[in-house]
Every structure is written in C-alpha cells, then in structure tokens.
Chain A
Amino acid sequence: MIDKFVPTLAAAMAGIQDGATVLAAGFGPGTPATLMQGLAEQGARDLTLVMNAGGRDDGPVADLLRTGHIRKLICSFVRADSVAGRQFAAGTLELEIVPQGTLAERIRAAGAGVQAFFTPTGADTILAEGRETRVINDRLCLLEYPIFGDVALIDAWQSDRFGNLTHRDSARNFNPIMAMAAKQTIVQTAHVVELGAIPPENVHTAGVFVQRVLHVPV
C-alpha cells in the first residue's frame, strides 16, 4: 500500500544533508512554516535556501536564517532592514537575486528536465553582466539554468495518501513547481482526505512529485 504520510515533524525532515539545496514555497500564504521550523531543528548546515523573498524580522524565513544554517539565499527580493539584509551586509549570507519570473521558470525547468533556457528578462540590465546573452527572434536574451532542489518544502490545503495535493486560493504560488523540482518533496497539509476525495481534474500537484506528507492542522 502506498502511504506517504509520516507521523512526526522529525520523520518528515529526516535525512536532509549538510550542503543541501532547499526550495521553500510561499508568497505570504502557502509558506510551509512548520516544515521550515523543522528544518531549523533538524540541524543540517551549509544550506542553500531558494524562496521568493528574504522575509522580514520575524516569521519562518527570519527564524531559519537566524540559526546560521543558511549559507546562501536565492530569491527575487531582499529588504535592507531584515535578517537577510543584515546578514548579507555583515558578509555571513551569500545572496543571488533572480527576477521573480526567471526564478519561477528556473524551478519549473528543473522539474521538467529542461537544462537551460533563454529569456529577455534582465538581458539588458546589470544582472546580465559577465553572462551569456544571444539575440533570438530579434530579441536580446539571457541564458538561464535550472535550479534543482535536493529538498522541497511544500504547503498544501488537502492531501491524500498518494500525495495528490490541492492548494487553497493564492497559496498555490510556488508550491506545484517546487514540488516538481526536488529529489525529496516534503509536504505539510492542513487536511488529510481519502483517495478519490479530490476529483482527478482538480489535483493541483500530482502525487508523483511528492515523497512525504505531514498533517499539520490549521
């Protein structure tokens, strides 16, 4: 019998190695806060964290950064006045800033097995300095590579035991694409449902992309 549910947070986070690349979803709603807390407690170090934004002074990103376990942050947006901004200024955090759509597409590409792509986004800006560009269809484009995750931390509204997921409203955001892009996709779900309870045409993230699911009631 296939059953991807795990009983505890520790079981959900077991085996994450030092040096791993961790994709964490969320854009406000949809942030897997319990799993991010679990990652801090699990203790893996020297991590690369991939998220949309660097957060503020409180909340799951700030708490995770404060552990000192994050070596590098890849995101689209960092505030100067935030834990991430201050760690970067102090030289204790590496930062790779990626335009948000390129970030999403690099993650999607990883999940889809696309090994590189060209996009006009940022091609005529300082983000392109020293990098490969090419004129394609009369447009200057920038070469971008996928972002593969060792681990993805995902938030869901519902999950069945196959790991078929729904995401509520705009809490969907990065969740389906990050789930596709990692070797080990770990989900926290607000609700556990029976197989078949989610109509097949309404599955947002198919269970094939999911390895472990933890029930975290809201």
Chain B
Amino acid sequence: MSGSAFKPLDRDGIAERIARDIPEGWFVNLGIGIPTKVSDFVNDREVIFHAENGVIGIGPTPDAGNINPYLVNAGVQHISLIVGAALVHHADSFAIARGGHLDLCVLGAFEVAENGDLANWARSPDEPVKQVGGAMDLAVGAKRLWVAMEHNTKGRGDSRVRKICSYPLTAKGVVKRVYTDLAVLEVTPHGFAVLDMIPGMTKATLEERTEAALIWP
C-alpha cells in the first residue's frame, strides 16, 4: 500500500457506485454477493430486478416479522415482491437470461481480463467440486454484463484485473464494465479504459495495483 490518502470502497460502497449508473426502466439480474446489494441503492428509480429462480420484481428485504417462506432469491435469501411483480418457472427464468431480455446482469468475479473474459466459478480446472450455478447462462445472455469485485486479492494483493485470466473461464469476451473498490473500468477493444476512480486515488497507484494495462482519458 502506498502512502497516498485513499479509502477503498467497502462492499456496500461498490454496490452503491454501480446503482448510480443504472437508469430507470432497466431490467436487471443481480448475482450473489456484492451484486445482491445493488438493489438497496437504486432509491426511487423504477428498476425491475430478476432472480434466476423465477422472480421478476424483487422488492426490499423483508424484516424478520414479514418473511414469506415461499419467496427467495438466487441466494435462497428471503425477499419481498414489488407491486407489479411476476413469477415464472425455471426454464422461463433462464429464457429471460439466455434470450437477451436482461438489460444488465451484475456478477461477482475472481478475475476479469482485458478482452472481457470472465472467471467466476472455479479457482483451478481440477477443483474437486464445481459451483457453476447460473453464471454461465447469465454471462452469455444479458445485453450487458458488469462485474463487481475487489480490485486485488485479500491475501497477496494480486490484481484481479488481468491481461489474461488464470482461472477457468465462465465465458469469453462478455464483460463490459468492472466496478472495483478502487475504480470503474470499461472493457474496450483496446483494453481497460478508466472511467472513474475513488477520491484520493492516483494514476500511479492504480497502475501499480493493476496487472492489465490501463487506458486513460
């Protein structure tokens, strides 16, 4: 860590930053982890949230006294519905994902590469158990895929923003934008373009923390 004065965003902070860029009227799927929190920050804009288990129109998280045991999201957490919600079965729910009906999908990731490759389901090809879930279907089907993740790994501080992904891929060339605790990066035909940085972040520090090359405005 260099001595410059910046405070990385916490998980809520990343979610809030993503929510700022979602316009009214979009139909959005949120993955498990940081992305799930995005819906808490869209405030009064009418954005419809989809859960892959067949929910269209997720509402606010219910308090303990108002839990409906028959209503959960993709992480099997209790949810509420907005007025105007719809429910579909699993094949229709993934038709929504695969069929290009989502304006946006936000997923967590282990790594993203400068060509838009996404790695978010396994840390090695021979990992004993597999946790694919719905990520591969969402990644190939949404009109836009944004990633929410920490810029560097917790232990060694390795960059998750890569020239080439080192982990098994979820899909190739699908990520359009990356929101980290340090910056917002757009995937362009020439690599990662920096759209935004947190207050106090410098060009030199972000480059030091990023394995891939960065394109500056």
Contact = CB atoms under 8 A, between A and B. Distances in A.
Interface stretch (B104-112, B125-133, B194-202): B125-133
Given A76-B134, A170-B53, A126 B125 contact: yes
B71 A29 contact: yes
A216 interface: no
B131 A177 contact: no
Interface in A151-208: 157, 168-177, 204
Interface in A45-85: 52, 76-80, 84-85
Interface stretch (B6-14, B143-151, B167-175): B167-175
13 contacts: A29-B70, A52-B90, A76-B132, A78-B130, A97-B130, A100-B90, A101-B98, A105-B94, A125-B170, A157-B70, A169-B87, A172-B54, A175-B89
Contact of B140 (A52, A121, A176, A177): A121
A204 B91 CA distance: 13
B169 A170 contact: no
Interface residues of A, number: 46
A85 B129 contact: yes
Interface residues of B, number: 39
A136 to B, nearest CB: 13
A28 B91 CA distance: 17
Nearest to B81: A169
A143 interface: no
Contacts of B25: none
A121 B71 CA distance: 27
B134 A124 contact: no
B114 interface: no
Contact of A170 (B87, B128, B130): B87
B69 to A, nearest CB: 6
